[in-house]
A and B are shown apart, each in its own frame.
Chain A
Amino acid sequence: MIKQISLFLENKKGRLAYVCRVLANEQINIRALSIADTTNFGVLRLIVNNPEKAYEVLQKNNFAVSMTDVLAMEVPDVPGGLAGALERLDQAAINVEYMYAFLGKTSHGALVIIRVENPEEAIPVIREAGIKLLDGDEVYSL
């Protein structure tokens, strides 16, 4: 299981840069990032090398921040690699709420971050479907 940091951001100039600067000042490295946005606000989701510290730092800087469990799924880095993995999740009746790609890759393939409804229950099901999931430590240190 991977710890993802989510935070609330207004759609205002300079906010994203500010978040990144706050994390940089604490030597926190961003490994993956996604923004879900609406007209007025966005939710920024981050995978970082030290989620606990990032959470603390952002909270101290007055952000509305939360920590969410997500999964890091390894997929073959070839055309159809992701499609095949998602089809298998679908067959296993696992619903992906959102997903985004990871920077860099493992020795075996590409990495995507997925958020599912019950990560705890989904892990064995996904593994059974023959998909590799990475542990937190593996991901944070990539």
Chain B
Amino acid sequence: MSPARRLLAYMGRYRRSFLIGFACVVTTTTIALTAPWVMKYAIDDLNRGVTAEKVRLYAAVLLGLAVVGGLFRFLMRRIIVGASRDFEYDLRNDFFAALQRQHAGYFQQHRTGDLMSRATNDLSAVRMMIGPAVMYTSSTALTFVIAIVLMLSIDSKLTLIALIPLPFVSVVVRYFGTAIHERFEKIQEQFSEISAVTQESLAGVRVVRAYRQELAEISRFRAANDEYVRRNKALIRLQGAYYPSMGLLMGIGALLVLWLGSREVIAGRMTIGELVAFNTYLMMLGWPMIAFGWVTNLLQRGMASWKRMLEVLDAIPAIADSPTPGSIRDAAAITGAIEFRGLTLAYGDHVVLSDVSATIPAGTTTAIVGPTGSGKSTLLACLPRLADAPPGTVFIDGVDVRDIPLRALRGAIGFVPQEPFLFSTTVAENIAFGVNDRAATVDAVRAVAAVARLDKDVESFPKGFDTMVGERGITLSGGQKQRTAIARALMIDPRILILDDALSAVDTYTEEEILHRLRDVMNQRTSLIVSHRVSTVRDADQILVLVEGRIAERGSHDELVRRGGFYADLYRKQLLEEELAAS
């Protein structure tokens, strides 16, 4: 289906509102066009001489028309613009729901700023298209047709002459509208640049001061600011001419009517009332001409935006439930035995994992070590399907993870990433993030916080567990963030716990304490731990050494140390460090 048809289908939900709205448009426009006609009779009668009653009647009719017209104008705006807000509401919800279905990779390909701009600017452009634009298009078209018919009925030749400037008005609006939009975009770009320079300079205030970069920063800012003014001037040059030129064109129409129309009156082919009414209609036509150019801009922009929104709405989730689910239906059914079977994963030419095979019995602890970029995080991400492995390579309890419903799979896994994301709410709500049952959580939150060694820290917070953590947990230290994330993962009582270098910002003493407490909690569960520290991994049931996507070594700490490979080397270097320290 074409985007336009999709739009119509989407608007179908509000069919009733739009139909009633159109009826109001027709009524109010017709009434508005009747008033000058009444005025024409009034003036002509006054010119000829008339009774006071009749004048009073004209005045009353004018007022009555205005009351009825105003009522329908009110309804028109209320109904059509109201429907556009309903549309906006639904579309925004659908947009959010579509985003929720996308996998992690999607958000790496699409920058947050880009998605945000679709959810705000594009959505607003689409709304403008189906709300105000629809309203003005219909009322404009109607005004245009009726006014021209009425003008023709007064004087056809004068009508044609008076209309000469009008096409120019539309051309001017179209030309300026597009050009102004382009220049405006350029200004917005530069505005972002100014923001970026400011952000950088202010966020790095200590470096700026320590290295005495104040003047350099000011001149960098001045350059951005200069360019901003320059681009603004380019816009003003256009804008300055825009409205006046429209006034000029419309004025020329009025001038022609007054000049040539008066000659018609003198020649007796037209009355003064008709001349005045004619002039009024011409004025009323001016607005449709302006609106026509404006509305085409709205429509163009709206359609472009609608297409951009459809890209998101139509994006097929790369990671979704399998149509042929395996035997596991919910999280409670998972015991936690993991198997990687010849797992090879490549992004384009870049091979991240190659032929990884490993068996992790339920309830055991496996550690993964290896240099940065060796594929450790990718391997872990395959388990909760943050990234997808090829079919038949990753199994939990003997079932391909691709055949386990996402809800069940993720419900069984407590995942702690290296850089945990916290939400700007309280500590307690962050910890209970994955738990639906709100009532029973207070004690549980305390318990998991204790395991993660977060309890002491929370005690020192002004409002304890009800302390807000700020945007992305900004008020917490790196270690506190990681420990909150550990508590959050434990909170869902997972069968499988994954710590992806999740203790890197925690000092070694605390780390050991956490690991110690985890051991009790994780008694019957499977855990996978990535770390750079030998002390963290040495007690694991098995250690996998990942080098350039391959398992280079595997075994227990003692076995690997004896083997004299990468792990033994790592161990030796870390020992050396301590020797240096203790000497």
Partners in one complex: no
